[in-house]
Chain A
Amino acid sequence: MGELKLMKGNEAIAEAAMRCGCDGYFGYPITPQSEIMETLMLAKPWETTGMVVLQAESEVASINMLYGGASCGKKVMTSSSSPGISLMLEGISYLAGAELPCLIVNVVRGGPGLGTIQPSQADYFQTTKGGGHGDYQVIALAPASVQEMNDFVGLGFDLAFKYRIPSLILTDGVIGQMMEKVIVAESKPRWTDAEIKKISGTWATTGKTKDRERHVITSLNLESEKQEIHNHHLQAKYREIEVNEVRFEEFQTKDAEYLYVAYGSSARICQKSVQLARAKGIKVGLLRPITVWPYPTVRLSELANQVKGMLAVEMSAGQMVYDVRLAANGKIPVSHFGRYGGVIPSPDEVLVAMEKFIKEGK
């Protein structure tokens, strides 16, 4: 078992990066996630593990540095917050198109525009429905605790390399700024050249040796038919991920008559609302998607045969609720409750929303 620490979510991301054998971090300061790069710069991992840490000139440069580093088969990551992620979307589309593994952390803040630096979950569409151009997906993990902030760095990289796809940690200022107990993993060394060759030797740009053809990392295909074939390949991969990698957690769903559906910090708030509801004798449960893409559609669809209604609770004007509705497929009423623009709902007002939903059936 690893060491027990009390850490901020953002610090846990940085610590986990150094411990999981990350080769490079490239980022640009933006509130509320700057502690990630600050923690790394303070720790100077280039002197210990050899990990590269670089403050780029912009988010645009950061994401393209990921493209360069990932092309070499290296474990590379960046972190930002909503406006910065918007700037990165072109690069994320390129990474997805060129099938490059990497890790992106979005500590979401309220928008649109410069918005607020306070927590929000209004980047759900951006994360799960593309954001950038073209038909692509990224694996999106939504931690609900500082422990998961730590754990999902390694998991994100594992999934990224398993499927040659960008992974994204979708979190917010609540989890990023909060301190909780964390058990940190034992440090793993960075991959050696031989390991990189074994893992990514069929495609990575590490220098063309005599024994192989040259490797070209590109998302360009000027012939439409070939580009369509490439898209077929991507879509097949996405279907495979949808089958294999859905992760979620259930809380008091066994006898639940009504269900909260919430991810990340909202799920923590809903958990308390479940307790408050149960104390009042209302049988409420919670399903927390851990992966918001791929989405736990199948399980929600089953639960739609059990519960009388589902309430999606998000710090947005209603984005994930569309996926809940698709899963419920008209079998039961599905509604949404949200506070947004940086406002965090209280467990009590989430309970009031559920009571209203139960009473009015919508």
Chain B
Amino acid sequence: MTEEIIIAGFGGQGVLSMGKILAYSGVMQNQEVTWMPSYGPEMRGGTANVTVIVSDERISSPIVHQYDTAIILNQQSMDKFEKTVKTGGILLFDPNGITHPPKRTDIKIFAIDGVEEATRMGNPKTFNMIVLGAYLKIKPVVKTENVEKGLRKSLPERHHKLIPMNIDAIKLGMEKVKEFSL
């Protein structure tokens, strides 16, 4: 199994940390992972994206231009990455702020109202975990228990009390994700 994912949105949406948690979770179940961020000035409030590859084998290129899954969280990223999903691949997006929804018919498209659900949960910071949950429902590349282990490993001790809330957010995302139809 090799899963090549791009996660793209605004800086501050937790794009990079979502990718990091996914990568950590892969490590927890003995898989090979790479996490390759876009870096530089674009990180400062502009768009941010990260390529995560989770695989059972040694990963060759950490850079790919076609993805099994694209997780898209703003319109700029939709414009840039909708076309990069492999035929038969998956596109997951949050409709909040999307003015031109995806149009491709050769891929499977899912939507998650991450912003709305996070607001309802009373903590906008859980947004990225809700989206991660939605993704893991569609493609369970890592087990939820390994995500918890990954969180434990990647978060500093003082933030460990936030782990249950994050797990709840992941479960909520799993529950709320739905197939998107044009």
Interface residues of A (CB under 8 A from B): 4, 6, 31-32, 117-118, 173-174, 177-181, 265, 268-269, 271-275, 344, 346-348
A271–B34 CA distance with the chains assembled, in angstroms: 15
Minimum CB distance partner of A146 in chain B: B34
Q: Which of B24, B39, B59, B154 has its CB near the most chain A CB atoms (within 10 A)?
A: B39
19 contacts between A and B (CB under 8 A): A6-B20, A6-B24, A6-B153, A118-B40, A177-B36, A179-B20, A179-B34, A180-B34, A181-B33, A265-B62, A268-B60, A268-B61, A269-B60, A269-B61, A269-B63, A271-B61, A272-B61, A275-B60, A347-B64
With contacts A6-B23, A32-B39, A346-B65 known, is A181 near B32, CB below 8 A? Answer: yes
A133 to chain B, nearest CB (A): 33
Nearest to A286 among chain B residues (CB) is B60
Which residues of A have CB within 8 Å of B132? Answer: none
Question: If A32-B39, A117-B39, A181-B27 touch, does A346 touch B32 (CB 8 Å cutoff)?
Answer: no
- In the complex, B180 has a CB within 8 A of chain A: no
Contact of A180 among B33, B63, B66 (CB under 8 A): B33
Tell me the B57-82 residues at the A interface (CB within 8 Å): 59-66
A178–B35 contact, CB under 8 A?
A: yes
Q: Report how far A174 CA is from B66 CA in the complex, Å.
A: 17
Contacts of B27 in A (CB 8 A): 4, 6, 181
User: Which residues, 25 to 46 on B, are CB-close (under 8 Å) to A?
Assistant: 27, 32-37, 39-41
Cross-chain contact B39 with A174 (CB below 8 angstroms): no
Chain B residues near A180 (CB-CB < 8 A): 32-35, 59, 62
**B40-A178 in contact (CB<8A):** no
Interface residues of B (CB under 8 A from A): 20, 23-24, 27, 32-37, 39-41, 59-66, 153-154
Q: Across the interface, name the chain B residue whose C-beta is closest to A180.
A: B34
Residues of B contacting A268 in the complex (Cβ-Cβ under 8 angstroms): 60-63
Measured in the bound complex, the distance between the Cα atoms of B40 and A4 in whole Å is 28
Q: Are B64 and A272 touching (Cβ within 8 A)?
A: yes
For residue B61, which residues in chain A have a CB less than 8 angstroms away from its CB? 268-269, 271-273, 347
| Distance of A265 Cα from B63 Cα, bound (Å) | 9
Chain B residues whose C-beta falls within 8 Å of the C-beta of A273 in the assembled complex: 61
Which residues of A lie under 8 Å from residue B40 when comparing CB positions? 31-32, 117-118
A346 contact set on B, CB distance < 8 A: 63-66
Chain A minimum-CB-distance residue to B65: A346
Mostly helix, strand, loop or mixed at chain B's interface?
mixed
Contacts A174-B36, A180-B33, A348-B66 known; list 10 others, CB within 8 Å: A6-B154, A180-B59, A181-B27, A181-B32, A268-B62, A269-B60, A269-B61, A273-B61, A275-B60, A347-B65
Residue of B nearest to A342 (CB): B40
Docked complex Cα distance between A94 and B84 (Å)? 49
Q: How far is the CA of A181 from the CA of B55 in the complex (A)?
A: 12
Report Cα–Cα, A204/B37, bound state, in Å: 43
Residues of A within 8 A of B34 (CB): 178-180
* Smallest beta-carbon distance A134→chain B, Å: 35
A177 and B60 within 8 A (CB): no
Residues of the A chain whose Cβ atoms lie less than 8 Å from the Cβ of B32: 180-181
Ranked nearest first, the 6 interchain pairs of A and B with the lowest CB-CB distance are A271-B60, A272-B61, A346-B65, A179-B35, A272-B60, A269-B61
Contacts of B62 in A (CB 8 A): 174, 178, 180, 265, 268
Knowing A6-B23, A6-B27 are in contact, say whether A177-B39 is a contact too (CB < 8 A): yes
Nearest CB on B from A114, distance (A): 13
Among B23, B60, B65, B153, point to the contact of A179 (Cβ < 8 A): B23
A32 vs B36: C-alpha distance when bound (angstroms): 13
Closest to A173 in B: B39
Q: How far is the CA of A232 from the CA of B60 in the complex (A)?
A: 42
Contact B36 A348 (CB under 8 A): no
Q: How far is the CA of A348 from the CA of B61 in the complex (A)?
A: 11
Complex interface: chain A residues within 8 A of B66 (CB)? 346, 348
**For the complex, what is the distance from the CA of A179 to the CA of B84, rounded to whole Å?**
22
- Closest residue on chain B to residue A117 by CB atoms: B40
- By beta carbon, the residue of chain B nearest A109 is B40
Residue of A272, A275, A348 with most chain B CB atoms under a 10 A cut-off: A272
Residues from chain B with a CB closer than 8 A to the CB of A344 are 63
Nearest-Cβ distance from residue B175 to partner chain A, whole angstroms:
29
In Å, the complex CA distance between A174 and B39 comes to 10
Chain B residues within an 8 Å CB radius of A275? 60
Nearest residue in B to A118 (C-beta to C-beta)?
B40
Which one of A118, A179, A265 has the greatest number of beta carbons of chain B within 10 Å? Answer: A179
Expressed in whole angstroms, the minimum distance between the Cβ of B165 and any Cβ of chain A is 23
Instruction: For A179, list chain B residues within 8 Å (CB).
Output: 20, 23, 33-36
